[in-house]
Structure 1
Amino acid sequence: MDITNATPLKLAVIIASNREGRFGPVIADWFLSRTAERDDFTVDVVDLAATDLPTALSREPGPAARAALAEVSPKLADADAFVVLTPEYNHSFPAALKSLIDWHFTEWQAKPVGFISYGGMSGGLRAVEQLRQVFAEMHAVTIRDTVSFHNAHGHFDETGRHKDPTGPDAAAKTMLDQLAWWAHALRDAKSVRPYAG
């Protein structure tokens, strides 16, 4: 077996909501329990509720922005792949996520991005479709298959367990399998030839 494929992929899971009372951590716990069953990923969580990135970009970030970037930027740079867990706000995705994306560029390049979304009737899919355009501009590769939760609160019990996990578990496996394929392919390609971004 090729040694590069034997080395676990570094996966950064981004919890995009920073609202008080958010539902994201419940879905994140479910998803992290799925990744814990695999030996092809090591996981680092980037929780935007714990990251104080300002939304206004500037050429010279202030002290608070520098401190936040010093904490989060190395996690993104080190990652081989990303999973973005996002709600849908007003037919789009949270401002905190847009800020995280915009403060970085090379960290996203030539890496795959998978999506888990949640919301009302749309299950957050409108947010995902907008994110595909944004990540294309960052030179990232988005994974076709997603995991989405329509009316998410109704799918989990009071302890945070999914009431009927068969469908979501299968969707997560498909998405992670595709993410692993792309992450290996891109990591291997970059080890031979730097990305021309």
Structure 2
Amino acid sequence: MTQKPRIAVIIGTTRDSRFGHVPAQWIFDKAQERGDWDVELVDLKDFDLPLFNEMASNAWMPSSDQRAVAWQKKVASFDGYIFVTAEYNRSIPASLKNALDQSYVDWNHKAFGIVSYGSVGGTRAAEHLRTIGIELQMAAVRAGVHIGGGDFFSVHPLGGNPQPMSAIEGSVGPSAKAMLDDLDWWTRATMAARG
């Protein structure tokens, strides 16, 4: 296959005080270093998505809100995704769930990886995101990046003196490589199958 996969790194939080842009930039840089993907950092804040209010999913009828349509076109332009998500009350942020709900067919038959963070590494949010992905007919890769515990508090402002992500490279670097390698395989497999 000669076509370079297009991969979106999606920042799943939209709060003004969010931390998501920090690990998103880190995994974006790692993904770009591969050299065999076209990677784009996609910020949900840039899309001004309304709360889902369509008659039905775009699997059943076209969306009427042009902001949702613009989001669907953006989603459709990628072959695979890396979701960067916080864990809010044992799940993903409402902004990410809403963005997932605004589209359906555009996610289908594509792969995704996860970078999650929080006190327990965002693992419960990641598991919830994987089940949502199943309903969207997506392929979740097994490997994931979970930034939790001491690592989380060393890079997050809540720890008092945040360090750069490179400070925890020894802990999360191997899982990032595994996730990116898995995402490459599954993205190329789903691209071939869709073709």
Regarding TM over 0.5, the answer is: yes
Kept after mapping to 2: 8 A contact 1:85/1:115: yes
> 2:46 matched to 1:47?
no
Q: With structure 1 as the length reference, what TM-score do the two structures score?
A: 0.86
- Aligned with 2:178 (options 174, 179, 183): 174
* Bigger Cα displacement from structure 2, 33-42 vs 86-95: 33-42
> Displacement of 1:69 after TM fit?
2.7
Unaligned segments of structure 2, at least 5 residues: 56-61
Kept after mapping to 2: 8 A contact 1:9/1:80: yes
> 2:22 matched to 1:7?
no
One-letter code of the match for 1:30?
W
Unaligned segments of structure 1, at least 5 residues: 192-197
| CA offsets 1:108-157 (integer angstroms, 9 cap, x no match) | 1110011000011x111100111111110111011111001004241467
Kept after mapping to 2: 8 A contact 1:14/1:84: yes
One-letter code of the match for 1:144?
R
> Displacement of 1:166 after TM fit?
2.4
2:98 aligned partner: 99
1:109 aligned partner: 108
> 2:80 matched to 1:81?
yes
> 2:161 matched to 1:163?
no
> Displacement of 1:160 after TM fit?
3.2
RMSD, matched Cα: 1.8
One-letter code of the match for 1:7?
Q
Kept after mapping to 1: 8 A contact 2:8/2:78: yes
2:139 aligned partner: 141
Aligned residues: 183
- 2-side partners of 1:69 and 1:176: how far apart? 29
